[in-house]
Structure formats: structure tokens, C-alpha cells
A and B are shown apart, each in its own frame.
Chain A
Amino acid sequence: MDKTQTQPRIAPTTALLLALSYSTVVALQEHLYAPMLLPLLLLGWLHRALLWSIFKRLFWLNTLIAIVAASMLWQENYELALLVFLRSNFILLFVLMIFQGKDEFSIAIAMQRLHLPHKLTSIFFFTAKSIFLIKREFTLFKNTLHVRGFMPKTNLLTYKTMAGFVGILFIKALERSLWLQKAMHLRGFCGEVYTLEAHQDFSVYDTLLAFITILSLVWRQGALI
């Protein structure tokens, strides 16, 4: 299911389970321990060719974390600011790397295969589908603006165009939802997105990553902070 063939294949189910476990434990721990870096190092090595783009994404995600940390620095709570900063970055980096090369549909597939409640899986899949289709409309409209020579400026035309842009996206979203309703009527949807897959293929990377991640979460030695 990976989009790129060059990366090691980590099953969507493994990715989802490990991301949930790692995030929960790291978020709820009082301290951060050195072994928690182990899965990050392994994932970093697995995705070594893409590290630059992963860190670029992490940098942009850090703008929000920086605001939160800065508010603590303002209160002179340096230790808590560092803890929040590191904790958030550990979790973000793990999630970014483990889902590298996978899209929103992979997560929906993982939810299906983990036999999570049907309603939750259906809602997630249809949300992912809607976001995917709206994103396509967004790109199309953006390209149209480029092709037609639109240059954003601080003027009424720009504001009007942007307002129209948002309006069109709303209308398209509404149209898509109506078509989805029609498809559900015609195809007999009754609250469940089915799967024919009876078994899952796990690679050696799944086993290794699962082992290292679990080990990192239970081995509480060498508190970093």
C-alpha cells in the first residue's frame, strides 16, 4: 500500500498500533527516558533517504509547539518548557516517520483490519475521502488562478477571489456529500465499510520496529528530563 516502493514496508496496522502506543506512553510519562530515542533512531535509519523532507515538515509543525513552549518560558518555567518541547517532538517525529509514504487511506485500512468499531472506521474513511477530493478541487482552483494570471495583492479583487474560492470549496463539498449519499443508497450501505482481507502480511521491519518500540516504552533508564 505504500506509495513509494523504495521505502521499507511497514504494515498500516503496525504503524497505527505503534503510533498510538508510543504517543500515549510518551505523552503520559512524567519523565522522558533515553531508550525512547531508540525507535526514532531505527525509523530514521529506515527512512534515511527522506530525513531532510521529514525534518522540514517537523520544523513547520514546531511553530505551534514553539508558541506553547514560549508561553512557559514567559512564566520562567524552563524545565516544563523543555519537557513540552521534547515530548511533542518525540511524538511528532515518530508519527511522521512511521506514516512516511502512507496516506489517509492507509490509516482507514489499518482501522478496518484492526476491527475497530464500524462507525469509527466508516467516519474516518469517508472523512479521508472527502478531504482527498476537496484537496483535489483546491489544487484545481489554485492552478486555475495561476493559469489566469491571478496575483494576490492587498486589494478588494484578492479578497473577493479568496472569498469565492472558499465558497466554491463549500459548494463542492456539499455536492460530494450528496453524491456520497446517492452511492450509499444505491450500493446498500448500512453503516459498515467491509474488507475481504482475511490475513495481514507483516515484514521483518514490522517485528523489529514493534520490538524496539515496546522495549523503549518499558525500559525506564537514563531520564533525559
Chain B
Amino acid sequence: MSCSVNIKNLSTSRDGVRLYENVTLDVSHKEKIAIIGPNGCGKTTLLEIIAGLRNLEEGTLELFHQPMHSLEDFKNMRHLIGYLFQDSDNQFLAPVVEDDVAFSLLASGVSKEETKLKTAMILQDLGISHLAKKIVYHLSGGEKKLVALAGVLIMEPKLMLLDEPTNGLDQAMQLRLVDILGRIDKSIIIVSHHKEFIELVVEKIYEITPTGLSCSLNLKDEHNHHHEHGDHPHTH
């Protein structure tokens, strides 16, 4: 099966302290996985390494079968990777919603007409067309998250990295996000503490520990069928 991310024996330190060793991870094409672990264990650091925001210390990383040795190697991969920050405010690069969503397309040289069309489509798809002309910093936390997600999705990345996507979202907005992510047909890596949320979105859950990454839950075989005692998703 074609692989979006292939990590072998990755070891990472932060401020001289070893976070984890020998992390090995394969994420297949269109596979959705989650990474969980205690605070400060290096989940965001791992996402940053995959996104090319942080240098690889030890181990190997391949993205779409291309070995990534230095940050320079990521330059040609940028359009294939979408990264949703934990704090959406950090992600915005334009004051108005539609301008921010369109940013990456315009920066990559796509015409204004085409960008305008795609922006309108993506805003409509996420149900936030009414926010198009608003200033991003005046929106609520949930609205900001959706605008940031629209800015990621508009580039049609093959791999999406989501850092604590439910942070600050109410129940209704979380369910909306589950629905949106469920419809996205791409490889997704989610870092989150929110187990109920990730169980609704991903196929596999990995737990990060100082000694590596272990698959703590595989929901691939989970399916729905009828039981006399009621219908609910479960694993056999």
C-alpha cells in the first residue's frame, strides 16, 4: 500500500532532555490516525518534524516515498502538507476571513478568479460562507478553527496534521468537526487528548512513550450491525 508518512527509529530531544527513542510509524494513503500521550511527551514536536518545521535528530523520515534529510527537502513538499495549529490565532496571515483562506493559493501563484471560486466553495462546504468578509480576530474560537481548517483544505494537501483540533470547541462544534473530518479523503494525523473525539474520526490510535510509539487501539475492524440490545459502534 502506498505510504504518506514513513518514520523509522526517530529519536528526539528538547532542551537537552530525550523525549522519545526509536519511534517508528507508517501512515498509509488516506489513513487517519491519532497520537495520544501525556502533556509534554513531544506530540506536537513529532508533528513539527513531519511538517518540516523542526530538524530530524536521529532516524529517518520519508514523505510520499521521498526521504527527508534536511528542512530544505520539505520545500517541494509544502503544498502536500496541511498543518492545523493548536491555537488558530497563530495560523492567520491575513485580516479578513476570505483573504486568509485564499492566502496559500494566491501565494502559490493561482489566479485571483480561480482562488475566489475555490474559496467560496470551501467556505460553503464548511458552512461558514457568512463569515467571509469578517475580521478573523473577531470570531469565536470554533469559527476561527473552521476558518483555519478552510485555509488548510483549500490547498488540497495529501497529508493533514491536526494539533489538538478540539481545543476550546463546544460539543456542537466538535461534532461538526467530526463530520467534516469524516468526509475528508486524505491521510490525517491528529494529536489530541480528547479520546472520545478521536475515536469517532480515526482508524488507529498510537500512544507515545519515552521508549517509542505503540498502537493502543485499532478501530479498523469496528463496524455497525444490529443487536437486539440496541445499535452502537463496537469492536469484535
Contacts and interface: CB of A to CB of B under 8 A. Distances in A.
Nearest to A195: B99
Contacts of A132: 137
Contacts of A109: 95-96, 135
Interface stretch (B27-35, B59-67, B84-92): B84-92
A3 B89 contact: no
Nearest to A107: B95
Given A187-B93, A188-B108, A196 B137 contact: no
Nearest to A183: B91
A195 B94 contact: yes
Contacts of B135: 1, 103, 105-106, 109
B107 interface: yes
Nearest to B95: A105
A133 interface: yes
Contacts of A198: 112
A194 B94 contact: yes
Interface stretch (A37-45, A75-83, A149-157, A174-182): A174-182
Contact of B104 (A112, A179, A188, A192): A188
Nearest to A105: B95
Given A109-B95, A183-B85, A188-B108, A194 B90 contact: no
Interface in A87-115: 103, 105-106, 108-109, 112
Given A129-B137, A188-B104, A180 B95 contact: no
Contacts of A171: none
Contact of A183 (B52, B90, B108): B90
Contact of A133 (B52, B85, B89, B138): B89
Contacts of A112: 95
**Which has the most chain B C-beta neighbours within 10 Å: A3, A109, A128, A185?**
A185
A125 B95 contact: yes
Interface string B74-106: 000011010101010111111110110011101
A99 to B, nearest CB: 15
Interface string A39-54: 0000000000000000
Interface in A142-194: 176, 179-180, 182-190, 192-194
Contact of A184 (B83, B93, B98): B93
A194 B108 contact: no
A58 B83 CA distance: 45
A186 B83 contact: yes
A200 to B, nearest CB: 12
Nearest to A3: B138
A105 B133 CA distance: 13
B10 to A, nearest CB: 20
Report, nearest first, the 6 A-B pairs whose CB atoms are least far apart: A179-B90, A188-B107, A194-B106, A105-B95, A187-B104, A105-B135
Interface of B: 48, 51-53, 78-79, 81, 83, 85, 87, 89-96, 98-99, 102-104, 106-108, 112, 115-116, 119, 133, 135, 137-138, 151
Given A186-B83, A195-B96, A196-B115, 10 more contacts: A1-B135, A109-B135, A183-B91, A183-B92, A187-B107, A188-B78, A190-B107, A196-B98, A196-B102, A198-B112
15 contacts: A109-B96, A129-B92, A183-B90, A183-B92, A183-B93, A184-B93, A185-B52, A186-B51, A187-B91, A187-B104, A189-B103, A193-B103, A195-B94, A196-B99, A196-B119
